[in-house]
Amino acid sequence: MRKGLIVLLLLGFLFPQGLLFAVENPYDYPVSTVIIDAGHGGYDPGTSSAWVFAGGTIFERDISLDIAKRVYALLSVIRPDLQLVMTRSDDTFVSLEDRSRIAYTTELPLKTSALFVSIHVNSAENNEARGFEVLTKKQGKSVTLLNSETPTGNIVLYSPFTSVQLNRFLNNRNLVIAKTFEQVLAQKLESSKDRGVKEQDLYVLNASRMPGVLVEVGFLSNEQEAQNLVSPQWRHSVAEAIVQAIIQCL
């Protein structure tokens, strides 16, 4: 018998009336933990710029990491009460499985929830494509939330509900978060085109098992946006916008 089910049975034996279990939607609890995911890394460079710059080729892995570090630093000052976790803090490769595992195995304080924010840079064959977009889990995609790898604290949160209920709760929360990110980024990055919220079947959003978004902050295939992306000032503006969106989601 798997570990998670053993724990669940023991809890049921010790608390036969179910008094230990939460009855509230687990995603209605305030956010205590933010998982910051810098896309790609190491031998996985992500997309790269077709435009030539004095510093040479620029890669998505470096831009996403720089923005992620800025988000971490800003949040550390503005909200020191938050538990912040980075899936990578340097130029190393981290698999999608490991990124997701870092997210869903992070222990949460009692009666709190978490937020997963993955930062990426876009690319397209059409070099006129530009702007930011916010990606969220497909509504019709059912993800596993309760199994042998579920942390004990989350077993307590999830057990009163069916898989269908949990996925509905997660979908609803995801839409609120995605729209919040879209609105804040549109306000803060006025010169950037708002490409909207899009549902996509992305492994890292499904397997992280928590409310979250993947933000594509711009197109390296667009010359003007590539110029922006190599600017530390512009990357800082993006980080500030992401931080503001996170704060509004708390």
> To the nearest 5 percent, what fractions of the chain are helix, strand and coil?
40, 20, 40
pLDDT of residue 54: 62
DSSP code for 30: P
Residue 5 lies in a domain: no
Gap between the Cα atoms of 222 and 229, Å rounded = 10
pTM above 0.95, yes or no: no
- Digit-coded pLDDT (tens) for 188-203: 999 999 999 999 999 9
Q: How much is the average pLDDT of 49-58?
A: 74
Angle between helices 60-78 and 232-249 (to 10 degrees): 50
CATH of the domain at 171: 3.40.630.40
Q: Is residue 115 part of a domain?
A: yes
pLDDT higher than threshold 50 for residue 9: no
- Give pLDDT, residue 8: 45
Looking at residues 135-146, what average pLDDT do you find? 94
Note the pLDDT of residue 52: 66
Q: Domains in the chain: how many in total?
A: 1
Confidence category of residue 55, pLDDT binned at 50, 70, 90 = low
For residue 143, pLDDT beyond 60? yes
Q: Does residue 19 lie within any of the structural domains? A: no
State the residue range of the domain holding 243. Answer: 28-93+100-249
pLDDT of 219 strictly over 50: yes
pLDDT digits (tens, 9 = 90+) for 154-212: 888 888 999 999 999 999 999 999 999 999 999 999 999 999 999 999 999 999 999 99
User: CB burial class (10 A; 0-12, 13-18, 19+) of residue 39?
Assistant: buried
Query: Domain for residue 7, yes or no?
Result: no
Residue 20: inside a domain:
no
- 18 located within any domain: no
Cα(236)–Cα(230) distance, integer angstroms: 11
Residue 61 included in any domain: yes
Domain assignment of residue 88, yes or no: yes
